[in-house]
Each structure stands twice: as C-alpha cells, then as structure tokens.
Structure 1
Amino acid sequence: MPLALAYRVEALPLREPFQIAGHRFVDVPVLQLRLRDGPYEGRSEAAGVYYLDDRPPGMARRVESVRAAIEAGGFDRQWLRSLLPPGGARNALDCALWALEASRAGVPVWQLAGLPGTRPLQTTFTLGAAAPEAMAAGALAYAAAGALKLKLTGEGALDVARVRAVRAARPDAWLGVDANQGYALDTIAELLPALVDCGIALLEQPFARGREQDMRAVDFPVPTAADESCLDLAELERIAGLFDMVNIKLDKCGGLTEGLMIARRARELGLQVMVGNMGGSSLAMAPAFVLGQLCDVVDLDGPTILAQDCTPAVAYRDGCIDCDVKVWA
C-alpha cells in the first residue's frame, strides 16, 4: 500500500549554550519525519552528524530524493540500508518505519526488536566544557544523577582542573569524560594521572578520527570508548582491540536497525556497548532507549538541555530515563 511521507526541519533551542571540544551549540537542528499508512503512522526525529556535515537541510534533500521509492511502499528496513548510506536521513526513515510497523501490528517497538521488555536505565547527564567551578556547580545541580559525563577540550591543565573540581563536588557519582577528539599523543599524558586519581570510569574518544592506531601507543589506565572513530557496522571491526567500548548513536549508524546489529556484533568482538545521542527531543531518545536495553553505558540526556521538550516526553527520575510507549511506539 502506498505511504504518505512528510517531514520538516526544526531548530530546537537550548536553555544555554553548550561547549565541547571545537564546537559551541546554541540549538539542535533536527529533521522530524512522519510516515503514514491509512490509520497507521510512524514518527521520528534525527539530528544528523555535524562533524561530517550531515545536517538536517541536507538530510531533507536526501529524503526527498528517495520519496518516490518510499511512498511506493512494499519495502523493509534492510532494503532501506541498501537505499541510503548511514547518517541522519536513514536514521529518520528507519525509526519512522519501526514505529509504523509497531502501529500496524499493535505492539511496542521493543517487542518487534525481540526484547523481553524495557526497564528504566541509568543515564549519564552531561556537563558542557566550562570553568572548573561552573562544572562543579553543574554537577551539584544534577543531585539525583548517579552518572555524569564531562566534556573536555584538550586543554590539559584546564581539563585536569575540571575533572578534579567535579570529582570533589560529586565524590559519589560515576564519572566519565569525553574528549571529542581533543587530544593527541603529545598532549594526553598530562590528563591520565588525574583520571586515575579521580576514579574516572571511562575516557571517550581521546584522539581524532583517523588516528585510531595512536591508541596502541598509550597505556590507558581507564577503559576507553570509540565514538567518532566508529560510525557504523562496517567500521566496527577496525576498532576491536583498540578500544574497550563502542558508543552507538543512531544518527551515526543510520537507525535502530543497524544500531541493534552493531550492539550484537560488538559483544561477539569482546567490546562493551554504549548508546549515545547527537541531541534532540524525547522523540529522538525513544528508539535509542530501546537500544539502551542492550547497553552497558547509557547517555540519553539530550532533552534535558533543551529549552522545551516535546509532549509526551521521556521521564527522568532518580538519575534514570524511562520511556512510555506513548512517546514513540
């Protein structure tokens, strides 16, 4: 049966600017998409991958280029993987198709994915890079959070001060740090002792994409995670043995279909699994929450930094994220 495809580009304002290594964000541009089949519909939201110049206006053009094939119907999610490359456009279509299938079947997406159910997940809450005292204050403001992630910028002495300030403020919390490619072989040494002293549980993406072999030259004293260094299933094999964990983001890999495939293959390769996000509302977090049921670390706090979330929304309670089927499917 023919499908009706509709989409729009929106910019979701942040409550305040958010800083990471090399980038400052004031909003999250997203592509919101809807597939409709008579009384059934599937909705989705995707932000793309800014550092690959995969942004919502271009994503919209890519979706429009396959409109005829999509609206003709009669396709499945594996066919979609061959139709479009990994990225935000495929993520939007893939997640909308999951929700549409769930609507047609009258069951939640997690059931279609073969999961026994869902449970609330402890999520990290992210502190943007700022002055050490400001990050410490932010850590205190997340009083209910059991897990925090600190954005670092590659500025060794300042990053060390940031880590020590947050640990002093929150001696009870699980702490991870995300360098967003900010370090190099000749700068990383200054940071490592502070990670040990402060009981940091995870170091995410210390070096630039394309410099993965540099990981072999450092005896990292804490577990490491690949984010920018692993975009999709095709790149997973190359990081095995270099990192301890892979951070799966649906915008990177092109949707929940491939995200589930990465999680299962990562286990076979001896890698731990993390689910993250490129920002967005609860509509973007909902499919990632399904994937999060298979993950060791969950980073799905995107809506908490928005000026306003969508309705209905995921719930954040006691440091956990929970997602009712009404949010998505």
Structure 2
Amino acid sequence: MLRAQIESFPVAGHFTIARGSRTEARVIRVEIERDGVIGSGECVPYARYGETPEATLQTILDQGPALAAGLDRTGLQATLPPGAARNGLDCAFWALEARLAGRDVAALAGLDWPRTMPTAFTISLDTPDAMAAAAARAAHMPLLKLKLGAAGDVERLAAIRAAVPQARLVIDANEGWQVDELPQLLRACAEVGVELVEQPLPAGEDEPLARIEHVVPICADESVHARAGLEALPGRYDAVNIKLDKTGGLTEALEVAVRARELGLSVMVGCMLSTSLSMLPATLLAGFARWIDLDGPLLLAGDRPGGLAYHDGLLDRSAATLWGL
C-alpha cells in the first residue's frame, strides 16, 4: 500500500538565497506499507529543477499499481528518473526493507553509520551587517555556510570574517556570480579563509571554471544531479554536493559518492529545506563526506517528532525513530 501527502513546515525567521526567500518548507511524506510494516520517506520538489509539489505527488501516487504488483527499490531506479519523486519512494523502500528484516538500515547498505556528526549551519543572504550579526550568534557552530550570490558579496565576506574571526566558512553562491567577477570574488574568499565555494556560476555556463585558478576549492551543486553528470566535473570542480532529492534517493546517492571518490572529487552531503525525515537517509553518506550540510530542521520553526537532535552544530541520531530502525 502506498500513501503520500504534501506537508508544510514554517521557516524559523527567514530563509533567503540568491534566487529568493521562503517562509515555509513544502515537502512530501511517502509511506509504503507491506505486511503491516511501514517505511517512510520525505522529498522536496524544487522549482529550480522544474518540480512542483502537486506534480511530484501525482508522480509518486501513480506508482501505486506498480507497487501493488511487486515493484521494489531496484525496479524503481529504472521506473523513475533522478529527482524528488524517486527520492521519496527510494527512502521509504530503504526504511521498509530494514524494518521487515529487523536490521539497522546501515547494515543493509554495508556502511558504518556514525551516531553523531558535525553539520554546517546556514546563514541566509542579507546585508553585510545582518549576516555578520547572524554569524556572530552562530559562532559556536563548527561550520558556517554563507548564502551569497548578489551584489556586495565582498563586503559581506569582510563583515562576516570580522564578526567571527575563528569560524570555519563555506560559501554557496547558488549560481549567482558572473564570469567577469569570479577571480575577484574567489580571491576575496581566499583572503578570509573560506574552505569551499559552491556553484558560483549557473549550471550549463560553468565551462570557464576549467580555465581559472581555483584559489579556493569549487563545488558543484546544480551542475550535477546523479551519476550521469559526474564525468564532466573534473577540471571544472574539486568537489560535489550530493543531495538525495537530486540523485533520486539513497540508492543512487551511494553510487555517486563512490564514483566521486574514484574521480578524485571531495564530497559534501547537502540537503533541501526539510525535516529530519529527509536528513536521516542522507546521514548514511557521512563516511564519504568532507563537509556535512544537514541543518534543514534547524532552519524550521519545528521538526517532526522522533527526529534528530542538534547540539551546538553536532547532529545526533541516537534517539531518532523516524527512519531507519
């Protein structure tokens, strides 16, 4: 039996990136039930990729007859393309398989699944002073992820570094920088000790990255979704941000992580704005990752019951009951 529905979670304060602001996270919760056992998953349709909650929900529900006829997680990979719909179903299948087998989901995946891990904390795009103040309030976090990609980014970087002189910093430009300004912006990042710059140029317009000096490592996000796009990254990028809503679930995400390592790419594990039900499957990728960015629930006014615990930037799944056990 398949069930799915759209759910909304208000954002705490505001969440702003180069493409706009959001006041709520709209997610789709998916449940697959077999023999009285339920496996759950969550996905986030993303407008940047042409997805809407309504169309994604319908795509998921359309798989009901196939599931009733025996569709499993392996068959799902050929049935739907990478994207949010497949992610919701794939993660529900993983949880269902684990519960039917009475095994920890990490054992099924053959992974060491740490119970705690540090995560980045996102600072939304704002004025230099406002971002500096937000960074100062979060200075106790192990890693700050700064949303940039608008005029005034050099000033933002300077103000933030002055406010948090010891903080580790990574940048997400969300495709918001221009080629002609890229060398100056990368130098500004290097001067303040930024560890990583994520997706500075628009996807499809990133060929110039192969011709400039990477004074700071550059990470692909929108430029790659799944395994099919990985081979084009070396030379342009130094790292890849793996998100389950892009890969279409944990199944392909694990394959992306393995192949990225073979290609010499560092890995960031990232997320969309969503609840612990989205974060928990992504934590299985922690062993591959140099940077973990799974702070989605921290940006919401409230998380799901049974979710992750966060303590000063440390993600703790010890008491989570939503997924995987």
**Scaled by the length of structure 2, what TM-score is found?**
0.96
- 2:198 counterpart residue number: 204
Q: Deviations over 1:148-189 (max 9, x none)?
A: 01000232xx11111111111112211001100011211223
**Counterpart of 2:300 in structure 1: which amino acid?**
L
**Counterpart of 1:312 in structure 2: which amino acid?**
G
- 1:24 counterpart residue number: 21
Q: Equivalent residue of 2:321, what SS?
A: helix
Q: Deviations over 1:249-308 (max 9, x none)?
A: 000110000000000010111111111011101111000111223211100000111111
- 2:323 counterpart residue number: 328
1:307 aligns with 2:301: yes
Q: Report the Cα offset of residue 125 of structure 1.
A: 0.3
Q: 2:76 aligns with which of 80, 87, 91?
A: 80
Moved more, 308-317 or 89-98: 308-317
**Counterpart of 2:109 in structure 1: which amino acid?**
A
Q: Report the Cα offset of residue 130 of structure 1.
A: 0.4
Moved more, 119-128 or 85-94: 119-128
1:114 aligns with 2:110: yes
Contact 2:176 2:202 in 1 (8 A): yes
Mapping for residues 1-329 of structure 1, pairs under 5 Å = 4-73=1-70, 75-155=71-151, 158-324=152-318, 325-329=320-324
Contact 1:122 1:319 in 2 (8 A): yes
Give 5+ residue unaligned stretches, structure 2. Answer: none
**Counterpart of 1:115 in structure 2: which amino acid?**
L
Contact 1:119 1:293 in 2 (8 A): no
What is the aligned-residue identity percentage? 42
Contact 2:112 2:287 in 1 (8 A): no
Contact 1:232 1:252 in 2 (8 A): yes
How far apart, in 2, do the equivalents of 1:18 and 1:295 lie?
25
**Counterpart of 1:272 in structure 2: which amino acid?**
S
Moved more, 301-310 or 160-169: 160-169
How far apart, in 1, do the equivalents of 2:276 and 2:176 lie?
29
Q: Equivalent residue of 1:284, what SS?
A: helix
Aligned positions, number: 323
Q: Report the Cα offset of residue 200 of structure 1.
A: 0.5
Q: Cα RMSD over matched residues?
A: 1.3
Q: Report the Cα offset of residue 146 of structure 1.
A: 1.1
Q: Equivalent residue of 1:187, what SS?
A: helix
Give 5+ residue unaligned stretches, structure 1. Answer: none
Contact 2:113 2:284 in 1 (8 A): no
Q: Deviations over 1:23-75 (max 9, x none)?
A: 211111111011111231101111022201212211111112221001222x3
Q: Equivalent residue of 2:160, what SS?
A: helix
Q: Equivalent residue of 1:327, what SS?
A: coil
Q: Equivalent residue of 1:30, what SS?
A: strand
Q: Report the Cα offset of residue 19 of structure 1.
A: 1.0
Q: Equivalent residue of 1:186, what SS?
A: helix
Contact 1:212 1:239 in 2 (8 A): no
Contact 1:86 1:254 in 2 (8 A): yes
Moved more, 19-28 or 201-210: 19-28
